[in-house]
Amino acid sequence: MAEQLASDPFHGFGGSSQPPVPENVAIIMDGNGRWAQSRGLPRTQGHRKGVEAVRAAVRAAGELGIKTLTLFSFSSENWSRPAEEVNEIMGLLKIFIRRDLADLHKEGVRVSIIGARDNIPEDIKPLLEEAENLTRNNTSTRLVIAFNYGSRDEIVRATQKIAARVASGEVRAQDVDQDMISASLDTAEWADPDLIIRTSGEQRLSNFLMWQAAYSEFVFLDCLWPDFDKAELQNAIDIYHSRDRRYGGVKVAKAGA
Ligand code: IPE
Ligand code: IPE
Ligand code: MG
């Protein structure tokens, strides 16, 4: 069933006149392959077109005042794809960083990368470090690229860090708490996503930000990633504004309501 917007666009936000922009938005950029196949093109063409949608999304996020935009670009499971497709995606990532980093820096975008670093191609590692180092002090949108990222892998790595601290006697087992786990994840420096968007009509997380998504709102869009643009982002935000976030509590009725 198509999602119905509440007739009151500020429903869920206490009737305030300005619904807050979701500060932290994460996107599962899905549907590149289907976009290409529906045009009789090789899947790789869909990934190329997808890079243009990445540029549009980053620009739109800045214009809309989103603080943190996390983009799922390659999962720890995507290595199982045909070598030709994996090579194309690696090549596109390199081209994106080489061509777009200077512009992102000029616009004050801070780039951060999440995901495992130990099993990625040697020529990509220094590019990721360069992107993070160059933009470290920027303060406009934070662009988080999830590359070679899997939520279960991230939780395993966080658990190993905490286990090592317990083994060394620095931390007691009974002092391990939610804050320590959050602080041990790749996303330690920024807030959990308010809104998670997935394009292409699929309705699953596919190993993305599972810990961080505990109270995220999910919006599933039918558009394929290469067709994503500012209007699609605005549409997702409008749907987000129709939601009522309760965090396990109950909605407190306003006096006189
Ligand atoms: C998303 O598009 C990009 C990556 C996962 C790297 P897909 O390549 O998954 O496209 P579909 O889902 O096969 O259409
Ligand atoms: C999730 O999409 C990963 C990225 C968007 C990078 P997939 O296309 O890999 O997910 P599944 O296989 O449909 O679950
Ligand atoms: Mg897919």
pLDDT digits (tens, 9 = 90+) for 150-195: 999 999 999 999 999 999 999 999 999 999 999 999 999 999 999 9
CB of 78 within 6 A of ligand 1: the answer is yes
> Using CA positions, which residue lies closest to atom 6 of ligand 1?
74
Please give the structure tokens belonging to residue 136.
């470290």
Q: How buried is 170 (Cβ within 10 angstroms: 0-12 exposed, 13-18 middle, 19+ buried)?
A: exposed
Per the CB < 8 A criterion, the answer to whether 111 and 132 are in contact is yes
Q: Is 156 left (phi over 0), alpha (psi -120 to 50) or beta?
A: alpha
Distance separating alpha carbons of residues 71 and 127, to the nearest angstrom: 17
Distance separating alpha carbons of residues 218 and 236, to the nearest angstrom: 9
At 136, is the pLDDT very low, low, confident or very high (cuts 50, 70, 90)? very high
CB of 30 within 6 A of ligand 2: the answer is yes
Per the CB < 8 A criterion, the answer to whether 186 and 156 are in contact is no
| Claim: this prediction has a pTM higher than 0.75 | yes
Q: Which ligand is nearest to the CA of 34?
A: 1
pLDDT digits (tens, 9 = 90+) for 45-58: 999 999 999 999 99
Distance separating alpha carbons of residues 64 and 77, to the nearest angstrom: 32
Per the CB < 8 A criterion, the answer to whether 196 and 66 are in contact is no
CB of 74 within 6 A of ligand 1: the answer is yes
In a domain, 168, yes or no: no
Give the residue, out of 30, 39, 202, 204, with the most ligand 1 atoms within 8 A of its beta carbon, to mutate for a pocket test.
30
In a domain, 105, yes or no: yes
Q: Taking 50 as the threshold, does the pLDDT of residue 11 lie above it?
A: no
> Using CA positions, which residue lies closest to atom 10 of ligand 2?
206
Distance separating alpha carbons of residues 35 and 49, to the nearest angstrom: 9
> Using CA positions, which residue lies closest to atom 9 of ligand 2?
78
Cβ atoms within 10 Å, residue 232: 22
By three-state DSSP, how is residue 144 classified?
strand
In a domain, 5, yes or no: no
Distance 82 CA to ligand 1 centre (A): 12
Question: Which distant-in-sequence residues (6+ apart) come within 8 Å of 80 by Cβ?
Answer: none
In a domain, 255, yes or no: no
Ligand 2 atom closest to Cα of 72? 6
What CATH number does the domain containing 96 carry?
3.40.1180.10
CB of 33 within 6 A of ligand 1: the answer is yes
In a domain, 63, yes or no: yes
Mean pLDDT, residues 115-142: 97
Q: Specify the range with the lowest mean pLDDT, choosing from 2-16, 53-67, 86-100, 218-232.
A: 2-16
In a domain, 183, yes or no: no
Domain that residue 123 falls in: 20-150+192-240
By three-state DSSP, how is residue 228 classified?
coil
Q: Which ligand is nearest to the CA of 43?
A: 1
Q: What residues pair up with 7 in beta bridges, in sequence order? A: none
> Using CA positions, which residue lies closest to atom 12 of ligand 2?
206
In a domain, 9, yes or no: no
Q: Known catalytic residues? A: 30, 78
At 5, is the pLDDT very low, low, confident or very high (cuts 50, 70, 90)? very low
In a domain, 159, yes or no: no
Total number of domains in the chain: 1
